[in-house]
Chains A and B, each alone.
Chain A
Amino acid sequence: MTQEISDETLCRRVAAQDEAAFDVLVARHQGRAYRLAWSLLRNAEDARDVSQEAFLRVYRTAGGFRGDARFSTWFYRILVNLCLDHQRRGRWWRRLLLRDDGTGDPDREVLERQPAPVADPGDALGRQQVMARLWAAVDRLSPQQRAAILLHVQEELPTSQIAEVLKCSEATVRVHLHRAVGALRKIVTRD
């Protein structure tokens, strides 16, 4: 049985201009990268572009990967930073062109159009609607809180790894998560 080459080894090979190693890394992480970028940006075209840019950064700066963290943590940091930068850059003109509730963004509209949750939580349709409302509420969190929540529930990262990705302390991650959950509770109970 062939042992799978680790991401960290592949990254070192990319630093030595090994294009085949780069292809393997992309194949391994493209799905998660696109999904996380889409969850943060809620726009398929932007998610595609930003996740590709993250791989380009890996290709160019693989030599800077020190190997004292996991490759996935390093890669998530690049990707999340690019997404947050993308949001910061786009915010001023989005405010001008779109209504602040996100109307006009087709990917977001799918979530926002969901009706309010029904009373019976056991009902499958009601459950689906509750989830849709919850995820719509996640979109209204601050970028840092949203990133922390997504890394926790979607990527299942522990707070220590989220702290590495967001380049902050674990205590700060706990504050982000606490405020996010608090805001979601308010939104869900209000709705």
Chain B
Amino acid sequence: MHPDTELTGYVTDALPPAGRARVAAHLDACADCRRAVEEGQTILANLAAGVPAPPPIDWGRYRADLSARVQARSRRAWWARPMPAVLAAGVATAVLLLAIHGLDRRPGELAAVEETMLGASLPLLQQYRVVERLDLLEDLEAIRHLDRLGAGGR
């Protein structure tokens, strides 16, 4: 059986001594694996010898852009910055207290709001018969001036 993966380990010098000795013994007896090792060595050597160079770059501009990016990250909006743990804990506690306190007061406040709305609707309810006869889409103007209608309009 051919030690396929180990052959590349052998070529890249990545095998422990025992593994290297085992592969070397196999290579002595196997021409196919010897050819695979030679081809692998040639390919890696050619790649190493001919690493393509990237297009040239203006390093002054590169550094200036990087510096600008560092500054931009440092000036991030306050809400986007990581919050210190103590401050975060304080804000969380304050929000929690407000929520609990707000929930305690809520039923009373709701009742007051409902009373105010009912009181404001009373004059309209008094004109109920007029409202009943109106075509809502056409007589919005009449609804807006219900308080000016006389008793005859009821």
Contact = CB atoms under 8 A, between A and B. Distances in A.
Contact of A174 (B9, B52, B62): B9
Given A34-B57, A131-B46, A174-B8, A153 B51 contact: yes
Contacts, number: 102
A83 interface: no
Interface size class of A (residues with CB under 8 A): 35 or more
A52 B51 contact: no
Query: Interface of chain A, helix or strand or loop or mixed?
Result: helix
A103 interface: no
A27 B40 CA distance: 35
Interface string A113-149: 0000000000000001011101100100000000001
A184 interface: yes
Contacts of A44: 54-55, 57
A153 B62 contact: no
Contacts of A23: 63
A3 B55 CA distance: 33
Interface in B72-99: 73
A132 to B, nearest CB: 8
Nearest to A31: B59
Interface of B: 4-9, 11-14, 36, 39-40, 43-44, 46-55, 57, 59, 62-63, 65-66, 69-70, 73
